Copies of this chain bind each other. A is one copy, B any other.
Amino acid sequence: MVVTLRDVAEAAGVHPGTASRALNNPSEVNAKTAARVRRMAARLGYVPNPNARGLKTSRSNLLGVVIPDLTNPLFPPIIRGIDDTVGERGFRAVIVNTDTDLGKEVEQVQALRARQVDGLLVCTAMLHHPLFQRLQEEKFPLVYLVRTVADSHVSSVTGDDASGITMIVDHLAQLGHRHIAHIAGPQDNSAGVRRLRAFESAMSDLGLPVREGMIVIADKFQEEHGAVAARRLLDDDHQVTAIVAANDLLALGTYDTLSDRGLHCPDDVSVTGFNDMPFLDKISPPLTSINVPRYEIGAQGATLLLEALTAPQTYQPRSVQLPVQLVVRGSTRAPAAAIATGNRRRHLPAGLATSQSV
């Protein structure tokens, strides 16, 4: 039904073994025969069967991509970066969603390994992560994306969380904010931790006080949890004039809480996000955020993994932190007090800043 290597070999008048070499390691074969075989292969439209090859070589030219949830807008660009990069080199990415469920993760990774994936790109890393730690120990090719693990003997590609937060804090300070709070992400992963640490450093570098209660840790990087954290923050009033959320969804949750309380962003409180999700420029108010080069993270992570696979002798694991960019939009503004001294304060009509839902 389909043309096999054997057919090519017959057509070229050689043994299948030779045909295989001609196609894969032409240097081990007489140039003329090699050429003949390749010509025949082309003419017959021969396409190697990856199943058979994989069965023999226990390699599949398949890479597994482990993400929490494809519908989180953070991931599609990363995956495009991966796909475009590996596609050129004959590899294919296979995506699995774990929904941040450890059991599911084990199951999915197992399924990927059953498929003989040659390596894994992991976006679900927690600081301590038994599953992937075990894989690392087995020397299974692995690259962490977006988040990394405590151990540094493995490659990772992330955005530069620290400078991102520093840029944000500097930006707010420059606007005149002094009472800046942080809604931190969960501290079981590198992004949450790094951003929190960077916040503390940046504040201290500027000589700004961070009083007890001005840092609240959200349970998850999700809107609802941002809303909860913001409530806690506002409950013990710290004259907060700006809130640095550890990611965009937490910031959106903060919006919700603000409008519940009749407060307006940015008039009463400035808010910032992190990641620069799509459509942030269209929401109300448009969210100031940190753009992380998601496509690039995918592309570079894929490149690293391919290097690990194709040149294992020379491969050196490394942690890449890609530069990020501050994107100033309408959610940050000088604090009311500062405005009073210089500018005039404009007030939005009530309700307009509200993040409406259906």
Point out residues on A near B: beta carbons under 8 Å: 47-52, 54-55, 60, 69-71, 73, 76-77, 79-80, 83, 87, 92-97, 110-111, 113-116, 252, 255, 278-279, 281-284, 286, 327-330, 348-349, 352, 355-358
Cβ B355 vs Cβ A281 within 8 A: yes
Q: Are B94 and A115 in contact (CB under 8 A)?
A: no
Contact check, A79 vs B70: say whether CB atoms are below 8 A apart.
Answer: yes
CA of A93 to CA of B93, assembled, Å: 10
B60 A71 Cβ-Cβ under 8 A: no
Complex-state Cα separation, A54 to B252, whole angstroms: 47
With a cutoff of 8 Å between Cβ atoms, the chain B residues found around residue A358 in the complex are: 281, 286, 327-329
Minimum C-beta distance from A23 to chain B (A):
14
Q: Are B70 and A80 in contact (CB under 8 A)?
A: yes
Sample of 8 A–B contacts (CB below 8 Å): A49-B114, A51-B116, A69-B80, A71-B80, A80-B97, A283-B284, A284-B284, A348-B352
**Contact assessment for A70 and B76 in the assembled complex, using a CB-CB cutoff below 8 Å:** yes
Selected contact of A283 from candidates B52, B79, B283, CB within 8 Å: B283
A57 to chain B minimum Cβ distance, whole angstroms, is 10
Out of B54, B83, B349, B357, name the residue touching A97 (CB < 8 Å).
B83
Q: A94 to chain B: which residues have CB within 8 Å?
A: 92, 94
Residues of B within 8 A of A47 (CB): 110-111, 113-114
Q: Compute how far the CA of A48 lies from the CA of B113 in the bound complex, rounded to whole angstroms.
A: 11
| Cβ–Cβ < 8 Å partners of A69 in chain B | 80
Verify A73–B281 contact, CB threshold 8 A: no
Q: Point out the residues of chain B lying under 8 angstroms from A328, CB to CB.
A: 358
